[in-house]
Amino acid sequence: MTRLPSPVILLIFSLVAVLGVWLRPLTPIDETRYIAVAWEMWLNGDYFVPTKNFEIYSHKPPLLFWLINLVWAVTGVMEFPARLVGPALGVATIALTGVLARRLWPEDATAGTRAMLILSGMSLFAVYAGLTMFDALLAACVVAAIIALMTAAQTGLLRWWISLGVCVGLGVLAKGPVVLLHVVPAGLAMSFWLRHASRPVAVSNKRLALGGAIALAAALAVVALWLGPALLTGGPDYREAILWRQTAGRVVSSFAHARPWWFFLALLPVLLFPWVWMPALWRSVWRDDGRDPGLRLGLVWGASALVLFSLISGKQAHYLVPELPAAALIIAHLLRGRAVVGIAPALLPVVVLGLGMLAIAIGAVPESATTRMLEPRLVLVPLALGLGAIGWLALRRGGLDGGALLGLGSVLIVNLVIGTTQVRPTYDTTPIASRIAPFQEAGIAYPGDYHAEFNFAGRLTQPVANPDSAQDMAEWQSAHPAGLVVARMDRGPERWPPHETILFRGRPYGLWHMSEAPENRDSHRDPQ
């Protein structure tokens, strides 16, 4: 099935993830926003109430920002070390998945290695585990919570119920109460998926209820360590936001990312690439009797989250990253003992991607903003050939090793495309940030919604104004005659041309110096 030992799997995944961090810039608007929040936490010294653009930020709890600040406490404020937090959490999630697999199938010597290889080879997991976001952190908390839940039910030991509560509490600190949607269904269905385990549920329902209460108390205690001081110091608006708007508000009527109920179903071929493209997996589905505890756990864990998140209006692909370990467990069970696992169908999307790269390289695709970012186009030729070589090697290797090679290799090539073309400088916030930073004292404005895209790259120590109407913009300009406006060309001042234009996120952005405004040109000079 696989000849790779667990440490080698973790090493290969780490190398691909770290290389991706080196090749890609911080991606606007998510990664730049979260690292800006961490920067302001470092700058302000307030570790309980995060801020974004120096205003209270209630959208996310602080655990990720704490981890970044912990890294900075060792390295100083540097971008690259901070961005290694995501890959480290991805490695932790893979290792924990291996631990869970070994506990589910103690008689299967390779179960843990198979599950680790399958998870590491999921392209979507490899992508999101390499980003400065909350998904790998939440996934690690969820897998650890499932391990504690299973062990607590089988042993009845107090320390495992407390461990379950601590893991859930950390999940709340990672991404909020949403962790309950990932963990509670498995807890409620414990007697179902542990029924045929080598060590089934060992305690009575009364003891289970008591253990659940202990876990809940432990989780609340962990959360209270942050939430208590945060609610006391954050003010009434922060209390309302953190207790209501960012929890129930997202469930009832999403104010972002609203999509149809079938969104995740349609996305499954991407979420589970390359494994669901393998015919051997589907043949095993029909032959399995469905009694295995690991299979049942994976189904309860994954299917419940799929249904619950499909019912919630806000949907993003990465919301189901904590369920990818569950999918890895299912696949590890279904493909156990198979000497031959053909991966040829999984090559189809890879071939399409490679042909698309070649088509762009030879100019067969009409020019657009996307193709212009892929300059120099000739670099796509060796990368497409490299993708083809990965596909050929994966096909020759076959089995789980071949599938993992295909999944991780595809992510590596995509990262190389980003790092060797104009995609990287186009999405890099540094060019604009370096130009606006000297204007902090004079004033910086960004018309419309501003997500702190430039705060970390520019190491800004003062907020960027974001006037959202023509009147607000006029008032700001009047109050900051030596300031600077950064905006998309269709949103900036129209009375005089920008001092400079920079391509950012595929669109031209302008930098308008207020000293160059017709009414200020003769009376003010730039602060540079």
CB-based contacts of 412: which residues, under 8 Å, 6+ apart?
A: 16, 19, 20, 390
What was the pLDDT predicted at 234?
83
Q: Which class for 520: exposed (0-12), middle (13-18), buried (19 or more C-beta within 10 A)?
A: middle
For 480, phi then psi, to 5°, come to: -130, 70
Token pair 């809940």 is found at 216
Token pair 């953190």 is found at 242
What was the pLDDT predicted at 528?
47
Distance, CA of 311 to CA of 322 (rounded, Å): 17
Distance of CA 92 to the CA centre of its chain: 14
Fold of 430-516: D-Maltodextrin-Binding Protein; domain 2 (3.40.190)
SS3 (DSSP) at 503: strand
What was the pLDDT predicted at 253?
43
Q: Which two tokens stand for residue 453?
A: 């895209």
Quick check: 489 and 447 in contact, CB under 8 A? Answer: no
Residue with the bigger pLDDT between 2 and 97: it is 97
Does the pLDDT at position 141 exceed 90? Answer: yes
| Maximum pairwise Cα distance, the chain | 84
Distance, CA of 299 to CA of 301 (rounded, Å): 5
Distance of CA 50 to the CA centre of its chain: 19
User: If you average pLDDT over residues 34-47, what whole number do you get?
Assistant: 96
What was the pLDDT predicted at 256?
55
Quick check: 62 and 38 in contact, CB under 8 A? Answer: no
Distance, CA of 195 to CA of 332 (rounded, Å): 20
The domain ranges of the chain are 6-243+277-334, 344-426, 430-516
SS3 (DSSP) at 230: helix
Q: Where residue 57 falls among pLDDT bands split at 50, 70, 90?
A: very high
Residue with the bigger pLDDT between 338 and 366: it is 366
4-31 per-position pLDDT tens digit: 889 999 999 999 999 999 999 999 999 9
Does the pLDDT at position 130 exceed 90? Answer: yes
Q: Give me the chain's average pLDDT, please.
A: 91
413-430 per-position pLDDT tens digit: 999 999 999 999 999 999
User: If you average pLDDT over residues 360-387, what whole number do you get?
Assistant: 92
281-318 per-position pLDDT tens digit: 988 888 888 888 899 999 999 999 999 999 988 889 99
Does the pLDDT at position 448 exceed 90? Answer: no
User: If you average pLDDT over residues 258-276, what whole number do you get?
Assistant: 91
Neighbours of 223 (CB within 10 A): 21
Q: Which class for 406: exposed (0-12), middle (13-18), buried (19 or more C-beta within 10 A)?
A: buried
Does the pLDDT at position 339 exceed 80? Answer: no
| CA geometry: angle 199, 201, 204, nearest 5 deg | 145
Distance of CA 157 to the CA centre of its chain: 34
User: If you average pLDDT over residues 389-403, what whole number do you get?
Assistant: 93
The least confident of 106-115, 145-154, 156-165, 494-503 is 494-503
User: If you average pLDDT over residues 109-131, what whole number do you get?
Assistant: 95
Which DSSP symbol is given to 109? T
Distance, CA of 151 to CA of 231 (rounded, Å): 34
Q: Which two tokens stand for residue 145?
A: 């919570």
Q: Which of 299, 297, 328 is nearest to 146 (CA)?
A: 297
How many percent of the chain have pLDDT more than 90?
73
Distance, CA of 276 to CA of 327 (rounded, Å): 10
User: If you average pLDDT over residues 153-173, what whole number do you get?
Assistant: 95
What was the pLDDT predicted at 246?
57
Task: Give Rg (Cα) of the chain.
Answer: 25
Does the pLDDT at position 261 exceed 70? Answer: yes
**Helix/strand/coil percentages in the chain, nearest 5:** 65, 5, 30
Distance, CA of 90 to CA of 121 (rounded, Å): 12
| CA geometry: angle 150, 105, 153, nearest 5 deg | 15
Q: Which two tokens stand for residue 12?
A: 């290969």
Residue with the bigger pLDDT between 255 and 77: it is 77
